[in-house]
Structure 1
Amino acid sequence: MERQILFMTDEEFDVLDELYFVTPFGVLRETIGWAPAKLIPVLDSIYRKGWIKIMKTIDDELPEGQIDLNNHADEYFFLATKSGLLAHNS
């Protein structure tokens, strides 16, 4: 099995830095100080890398097919995954 090495951008690092605990989109946006147009693509990128979970509530992860960041990001909560935390701390 070949292991894939994933590169982390500075923006991805900054977002992951805020997701050690379940965080709603609005709080993340305010804390990081980015417009949704900048934040949403970064969230999408780190989600596709498996570094975050996207959740409908603080307890309920959304299945991949139900996620629509472009239209509903402000309704979601985010949390770094174990692999995201490991990538962030490497």
Structure 2
Amino acid sequence: MSEDEFDLLDELYFVQSYDYLKGELGWEDGLLLSTLQQLLKMEYIKCLINPDQELHGDIDLTEAGKEYYFLATKKGLLAHNTL
């Protein structure tokens, strides 16, 4: 897990919006979206349409990632806490 992935997971113990993550981390959109995409690919996070509705299937965050919410999965939390 990269340092960026670790830092991003650190923010996802609770459901967070894209705007919240951008504000907290201060990252450019490209870095934030690509890191979210990588964590999603590893099944370390889940993507939500709203705070209560998970999005399933093949998700391309570069297109609409700024509209979603994110949350660490159990797998992601275990990986985050074992480093």
- TM-score range (shorter-chain normalised) is over 0.9
Q: CA deviation at 1:68?
A: 2.9
Q: CA deviation at 1:73?
A: 1.1
Separation of aligned partners in 2, 1:89 and 1:83: 10
For the aligned residue pairs, the C-alpha RMSD in angstroms reads 0.8
Tell me which residue corresponds to 2:52: 59
1:23 to 4, 16, 24: 16
Q: Structure 1 regions of 5+ residues with no counterpart?
A: 1-7
Corresponding letter in the other structure for 1:72: A
Q: If the length of structure 1 is used for normalisation, what is the TM-score?
A: 0.87
Bigger fraction of residues in strand: 2
Q: Which of structure 1's runs of 4+ aligned residues deviate more than 4 A? A: none
Tell me which residue corresponds to 1:4: none
**Bigger Rg over Cα:** 1
Tell me the number of residue pairs that the alignment of Structure 1 and Structure 2 aligns: 82
**Mapping of residues 37-48 of structure 1, within 5 Å:** 37-48=30-41
Q: Structure 2 regions of 5+ residues with no counterpart?
A: none
